[in-house]
Structure 1
Amino acid sequence: MSRVVVVGAGFGGLSVAARLAAQGHAVEVFEQGPQVGGKLGWFSRDGFSFDTGPSLLTLPAVQRDLFLKTGDPVESVLDVVQLDPVAHYRFADGTEVDLPGGGLPQVARALDDALGAGTGAQWTAFQRRAAEIWDVAREPFLESALEGPKTLLRLAKDVRGLRTVAPWSSLRGVGRQYLHDPRLRTLLDRYATYSGSDPGRAPAALATVPFVEQAFGAWYVRGGLHLLAQAVADRARERGARITTDAPVDRVLEEGGRAAGVRLADGRQVRADVVVSAVDAARLYGDLLPRPRLRPPRRLRSSSGFVLLLALEGRTPGLRHHTVLFPDDYDAEFADLAAGRPVADPTVYVSAPDDPALRPSDDTEAWFVLVNAPVHDPQHGGTDWRSEDLVRRHTDVVLDALARRGLDVRSRLRWAEVRTPADLEERTGSDGGAIYGTASNGARSAFLRPANRSPVPGLFLVGGSSHPGGGLPLVGLSARIVTDLVGPA
């Protein structure tokens, strides 16, 4: 049995704590904030409640595996329901489509009905290619620890696999081979933002994101996805892990060239055989090690998000669980993000679950509204999200965009809570509020993401800023990878 310290109680830290504790390790988790969950946040006021992070589950097998490997199935502790439709999309030309959650054939039919005959066939052809990429990339890129040159050498020998994954192609590039309708290309571009990336630079392997969502379905936890974090924390405690909140770590201890525990901000030292860092990799390598090293370049940081939590009077006819409203010029949005400036005409994403647990009465609604945003980076000439004037102006930009696209809620607004990239950085410790850590831009992006096994023996990384990436499914896979690397008790 090893003594294991986990730094951070986000979803990745909690998942690895539960898995390692179930294997018999003595696990202790230290969280800097007052509650667990990390980016799986929650906000309540006046009976209105909001998930402030992820709003759906994809690749549910990852969560099912976590709960089965640590005890009872996920359904024993959470009410997990499949979404149908998954999302409503409105394009710049006014056309709209509901994408169903019942599988790829249903998606194709919905596209034909909404966008015109033949669009479903185009999307199906693209999804066949995405399925091939999934089959090739799933094990080496998502379910295994990358081993640097060894992994590259092994993959280079698989000529057919390389041709399928097309690491020299971007997501947008491979999409254009199959998608001739510009609205389908816009739809595909959106999936690059799932990892905070630019579709013109993100690798073709990200084609697996829409494939996973539409082939395996999208799911919601009644009461809010924050309950998932609570359930994993409960499971970790049941298996013997100890979780301490309001306990920031300010140093990873090294002894004899390997990790030896942590020092808390109050000066207390906790010895350990293994340290698992679930904090942003940039913070670990830049601030928590005695000798700062390997800080990810700032140019590789993913984008962030600007969020409005809206408490609304009345109900919106036909409102879906998720709504995506595209701008006139999607390329301009990515140009603004690349330049590090707030988006002038952003895509607007609305999450409004029809869940009585989230609203004070049946004649009210709680909306989580998100637009892509650059990270908080005033020290390097980037956007200063601490500017109250900027926050006010950008709030108006988002509300105006909603109104122009058919969802004017200003007359119904009881109050709004604003969350900026600076707030996200402060609350979670993510570098500049980068939601996904390192952006998936460029053919080598998977190999530039910090590895799960650090250069310091006994120190491992888990979570969205490390391999294999951000989002609940990949964070869950990173916990499984680290558990395998640490090994049985």
Structure 2
Amino acid sequence: MARVIVVGAGLGGLSAAARLGALGHQVTVLEQAEQIGGKLGLLRREGFGFDTGPSLLTLPAVYRDLFLKTGQPLEDVLALVPLDPACHYRFPGGLEWDMPGSGPAGVSRAWAEALGPRAGQDWAAFHRRAAGIWDLTRDPFLESPLDGMRTLLGLARNPADIRTVAPWLSLRGLGRQYLQAPEQRMFLDRYATYTGSDPRRAPAALATVPFVEHAFGSWYVPGGLWQLGAAVADRATSHGVKILTSSPVEQVIASPQVEGVRLESGETLPADVVVSGVEAAHLYRDLLPGAEGKGGRRALAKASPSLSGFVMLLALRGRTPGLRHHTVLFPTDYDAEFDHVFGTGKQAGKPSPVPDPTVYISAPDDPALRPDDDHEAWFVLVNAPRHAPDAGMDWDAPGLAESYAHKILGRMAERGLDVRDRLLWNEIRTPADLERNTRSTGGAIYGSSSNGARSAFLRPANRSPVPGLFLVGGSSHPGGGLPLVGLSAAIVADLIGPA
């Protein structure tokens, strides 16, 4: 039995703790905040409830595996409800389109009905290519520890496989090979943002993101997706895991083998193994500031940070006819959005709030999240540059958050969703708030982005260079999003092994 300390009670840390507890280890989870969940949070106010992080679950098999290997099946603990339609999209040319939750054939039919038979055929062909990429990359890139460039060289033994994955091609480039309609190309581009990335630079392998969503469905947990984190925490404690909140870690002690952690209170806790569920940049910069973290800092310096998000939690009076669970309102110029977020193109070196952003709205028709049937709780998110005062992007600048929120509400009105006269209150959360709440650098949602052909190999490995130190969560391999976070925990549990 190893003494294991998990730093951070986000879903990655909690999932690793549950798996390691079930394997017989003595596990303690240390969380700096007052509540668990990390980015998978909940806000309740005046009868309204909001998921403050992810609002849907894809690839639920990852969490079914977690619960089966630690006790009762997932469905015995949580209700999973499929979303159909999964999302409503409004495009700048006027097209409104519901993405069905009825599988890949249903998505192709929906495109054909909206844009004609060619669009349906194009999407079906694209989905077949994405399925091929998924089959080739799932095991070596998602379910196994990354073995550097040797992982890619393993594919190179078969030229047909390397052509399928096309590591030299961007997601946008792949879309242009298959999709003629601008609405379909814009729709595909958005999937790069699921990893905090720019579709012009993210690899074609991200075609697996829409493949997973369409092949395995989009799922919701009545009462809020935050309950997934609570259920994983309950499973962990059932195996003897201790979860301590309001317990910020100041340092991981290693010389060179891991010896334990020191809390900000000054208390030192010994450990044989430390699993870090915090952002990798925070780990290597702040918790391992000495020589032990030098290699990690050097690797992260080569990676491109992910985008952040500007959030509004809207408490609304009245109901919206025909409102879907998810709605996406696209802008006229998507490239301008990515330039503002990443400081590229005309915004080179000058990231700034997007004047005309894509607006994402999560508004579950869930009685548990509103005071009564005559109200709605909306989570509104737009892509945003990270908080970086030294680089000129200061989200704490007086009046900036309020004026930007006002602008977004105006953009929503221009695109057919004017809720300004129904607004009871609005709670704003900026990238600076996200940084303070989760200690993610600049509020980067996913740590490193997937920008660049080598991005997967720049993401911090699950086994660190420090003996006994492992990484889980969205900023480590295999990446961000609920499915990949769960896979990172499974990889780490396998690396550590049974007691």
Name the TM-score class by shorter chain.
over 0.9
User: What is the aligned partner in structure 2 of residue 220 from structure 1?
Assistant: 220
Q: Flag structure 1 segments of 5+ consecutive residues without an equivalent.
A: none
Percent of aligned pairs sharing the same letter: 66
Deviation at 1:64, TM superposition (A): 0.4
Q: 1:66-77 maps to which residues of 2 (within 5 A)? A: 66-77=66-77
Deviation at 1:110, TM superposition (A): 1.1
User: What is the aligned partner in structure 2 of residue 369 from structure 1?
Assistant: 380
1:400-459 residue CA offsets vs partner (Å, 9 max, x unmatched): 110000000000000000000001110111111000000001110000000001000100
More deviation, 394-403/318-327: 394-403
Q: Give the Cα–Cα distance (whole angstroms) in 1 for the partners of residues 153 and 45 of structure 2.
A: 54
Q: Give the Cα–Cα distance (whole angstroms) in 2 for the partners of residues 249 and 298 of structure 1.
A: 26
Instruction: Tell whether the 8 Å contact from 1:250 to 1:263 is kept in structure 2 after alignment.
Output: yes
Q: 1:129-140 maps to which residues of 2 (within 5 A)? A: 129-140=129-140
Coordinate RMSD, CA, aligned:
1.0
Deviation at 1:299, TM superposition (A): 6.2
User: What is the aligned partner in structure 2 of residue 323 from structure 1?
Assistant: 327
User: What is the aligned partner in structure 2 of residue 65 from structure 1?
Assistant: 65
Deviation at 1:156, TM superposition (A): 3.0
User: What is the aligned partner in structure 1 of residue 183 from structure 2?
Assistant: 183
State the number of aligned residues.
487
Q: Flag structure 2 segments of 5+ consecutive residues without an equivalent.
A: 344-350
Which of 474, 488, 491 lines up with 1:481 in the alignment?
Answer: 491
- Which residue identity lines up with residue 403 of structure 2 in the other structure? R
Instruction: Tell whether the 8 Å contact from 1:201 to 1:442 is kept in structure 2 after alignment.
Output: yes
User: What is the aligned partner in structure 2 of residue 346 from structure 1?
Assistant: 357
Q: Give the Cα–Cα distance (whole angstroms) in 2 for the partners of residues 150 and 192 of structure 1.
A: 25
Could you say what secondary structure the match of 2:341 adopts? helix
Q: Give the Cα–Cα distance (whole angstroms) in 2 for the partners of residues 185 and 219 of structure 1.
A: 24
Could you say what secondary structure the match of 1:388 adopts? coil
Could you say what secondary structure the match of 1:408 adopts? coil
Q: Is 1:285 matched up with 2:284?
A: yes
Deviation at 1:159, TM superposition (A): 2.4
Could you say what secondary structure the match of 2:327 adopts? strand
Q: Give the Cα–Cα distance (whole angstroms) in 1 for the partners of residues 324 and 466 of structure 2.
A: 47
Q: Is 1:5 matched up with 2:16?
A: no
User: What is the aligned partner in structure 1 of residue 397 from structure 2?
Assistant: 387
User: What is the aligned partner in structure 1 of residue 347 from structure 2?
Assistant: none
Could you say what secondary structure the match of 1:230 adopts? helix
User: What is the aligned partner in structure 2 of residue 302 from structure 1?
Assistant: 306
Q: 1:44-63 maps to which residues of 2 (within 5 A)? A: 44-63=44-63
1:75-97 residue CA offsets vs partner (Å, 9 max, x unmatched): 11111101000000000011111
Could you say what secondary structure the match of 1:306 adopts? strand
Could you say what secondary structure the match of 1:438 adopts? coil
Could you say what secondary structure the match of 1:109 adopts? helix
Deviation at 1:337, TM superposition (A): 1.1
Instruction: Tell whether the 8 Å contact from 1:309 to 1:416 is kept in structure 2 after alignment.
Output: yes
Could you say what secondary structure the match of 1:368 adopts? strand
1:325-349 residue CA offsets vs partner (Å, 9 max, x unmatched): 0011111111111212111100000
Q: 1:100-115 maps to which residues of 2 (within 5 A)? A: 100-115=100-115
Deviation at 1:102, TM superposition (A): 1.1
Q: Give the Cα–Cα distance (whole angstroms) in 1 for the partners of residues 392 and 57 of structure 2.
A: 32
Could you say what secondary structure the match of 2:399 adopts? helix
User: What is the aligned partner in structure 1 of residue 348 from structure 2?
Assistant: none
Deviation at 1:153, TM superposition (A): 3.4
- Which residue identity lines up with residue 212 of structure 1 in the other structure? V
User: What is the aligned partner in structure 2 of residue 274 from structure 1?
Assistant: 273
1:39-78 residue CA offsets vs partner (Å, 9 max, x unmatched): 0011111101100000000001001001111110111111
Instruction: Tell whether the 8 Å contact from 1:97 to 1:115 is kept in structure 2 after alignment.
Output: no
TM-score (norm 1): 0.98
Instruction: Tell whether the 8 Å contact from 1:430 to 1:437 is kept in structure 2 after alignment.
Output: yes
Instruction: Tell whether the 8 Å contact from 1:253 to 1:290 is kept in structure 2 after alignment.
Output: no
Instruction: Tell whether the 8 Å contact from 1:312 to 1:414 is kept in structure 2 after alignment.
Output: yes
Q: Deviation above 4 Å: which 4+ runs of structure 1?
A: none
- Which residue identity lines up with residue 338 of structure 1 in the other structure? F
Q: 1:107 to 1:54 in 2, by over 3 A?
A: same
- Which residue identity lines up with residue 410 of structure 1 in the other structure? R
User: What is the aligned partner in structure 2 of residue 43 from structure 1?
Assistant: 43
Deviation at 1:223, TM superposition (A): 0.3
Q: Is 1:265 matched up with 2:230?
A: no
Instruction: Tell whether the 8 Å contact from 1:95 to 1:115 is kept in structure 2 after alignment.
Output: no
Instruction: Tell whether the 8 Å contact from 1:12 to 1:479 is kept in structure 2 after alignment.
Output: yes
1:98-151 residue CA offsets vs partner (Å, 9 max, x unmatched): 011110111111111122332111111101000000000000100000122432
Q: Is 1:424 matched up with 2:434?
A: yes
Deviation at 1:290, TM superposition (A): 4.6
- Which residue identity lines up with residue 436 of structure 1 in the other structure? Y
Could you say what secondary structure the match of 1:402 adopts? helix
Q: Give the Cα–Cα distance (whole angstroms) in 2 for the partners of residues 153 and 103 of structure 1.
A: 33
TM-score (norm 2): 0.96
